[in-house]
Amino acid sequence: MPLDGIDTQVTALNARYRHHGATAVMETALRDADLGRIALVSSFGAESVVLLHMVSVMDRRLPVLFIDTEMLFAETLTYQMELTERLRLENVQVIRADRSALFERDNENLLHLHDPDACCHLRKTEPLQRALEGYDSWITGRKRYQGATRTNLDFFESEAGLRIKVNPLAHWDKGDVADYIAENRLPRHPLVSRGYPSVGCAPCTTRVNDGEDPRAGRWRDLDKVECGIHFAGGRLVRSGATEQTPG
């Protein structure tokens, strides 16, 4: 896929699928040769089962990249293994940080206490960027309702002209997610029923109170709303082909 045409391609894709739904966008992502080699990046978190189920129906051989930060809840690791088996996903790849980098920069596993951005970069962003080398596009589960940084999210984004990001569920709300899970009798992440509508690493995720933003429990009391894997060139990727805001 020619890299110099990614921004133009993203604009065209968003125009073409403006009035389409998640399934149509997902099917397009998996069959459109212009999107090139593609993978799903999944946290196996609170709402991940929706896209994972779609993959199991459309192409269970699709690469699914799961970032194990080695600071996840035990429930997430168990859920990942159980869901992989239940949905018969054939190509789940567990991605971890480089061992020498961990030893050099976070030998005592305390980096998150004084520099959570650096911790996310070490344990999430760097491993994912290495894993995505050779891919032309990747699928995410981000949705507009998940917070202020996502309110204008489009189905397709340009990742700084490097590759295309596909957000099939961009226009879904909490009700859509709940309905899909219920209608397909899919298992929820075990922490959801315990007050975690968004699940990240254990040290940086807390329960969410009634009426709070679903992501309020992520990096609570810190000036931080994203882990960094949706940053390009140090800037948060927003909707459209080129619109970005500082991270």
Angstrom CA distances, 164 to 135, 161, 231, stand at 9, 8, 13
The DSSP H or E segment spanning 65 is strand 64-67
Q: Which of 119, 120, 201, 227 is catalytic?
A: 227
Token pair, residue 228, equals: 């960094």
The strand pairing partners of 166, in sequence order, are 139, 156
Residue 172 has a CB neighbour count (10 Å cut-off) of 21
Active site residue 227: yes
**What letter represents residue 2's amino acid?**
P
Residues whose CB falls within 8 Å of the CB of residue 44, separated by 6 or more in sequence, listed in order: 52, 66, 76, 79, 80, 83, 189
Contacts of the segment 115-122: beta carbons below 8 A, 24+ positions apart: 116/204, 116/219, 116/222, 116/224, 117/224, 117/228, 120/227, 120/228, 120/229, 121/228, 122/97
Active-site annotation, residues? 227
